[in-house]
Structure 1
Amino acid sequence: MRSAKSIRIIHQPSGEVIAEGRLGLWDITPFEGNYYISRKCLKTEYLRPNWVPGLCVYKFLYVWLDLRLPNGMREPFVGWMYWLPNPLLPFIAFRPAVPAVSPSLVVQEIG
């Protein structure tokens, strides 16, 4: 049996590692072209809510996240987090999420 693939998500302009871990329900969950990141796989402390809300008709209410680095660099709307999620999708609840394809993010396969 083959082991699960691990990935690293990096903010390309700064080199900041956003997340690193195995793909799967308990670590980094791929869903609908996005990655939902468990807290144990989150490698940055610089994702901050910008309090701009969003609404998905079936995943419900989220807030956008900005990457705010100590050197003053800022990447607005780099991700989001569902704060009032659909209870049928518990794997997205309260997890930072980023798109799998983004001009500012790089996804590397590791190990």
Structure 2
Amino acid sequence: MLSSLATAVTTAPCYVGYGPPFVGWWWIFIPIFWILVFVLIFGFAGRRWRRAAMARGGYNGWGPNAGTRSAEQTLAQRYANGDIDEQEYRARLEVLRANRDTA
């Protein structure tokens, strides 16, 4: 009697509640689904943020100086506008390039 009870207990389905139990390989789709949902949400949010930043003119890639124009570009723009003459442009450009090489 005890052996037949032990056999019945070990071979009985082991789940509580209604419906089929979570057995088999398909349970892995639940975390994959949620990971995919979060990746899509953050991907679309990041894409929207980057597009908005580009429209404002402030996004220039990644890094500490992202969103700022380089000093050489600013200097070239000032020279093109006629704010500084060629001698001053060349002198400041030389200083900028000398400081960039030492940094």
Tell me if both proteins adopt one fold, taking TM over 0.5 as the criterion: no
Greater fraction strand: 1
TM-score (norm 2): 0.21
Higher relative CO (Cα under 8 Å, sequence separation at least 6) belongs to 1
Greater fraction helix: 2
TM-score (norm 1): 0.21
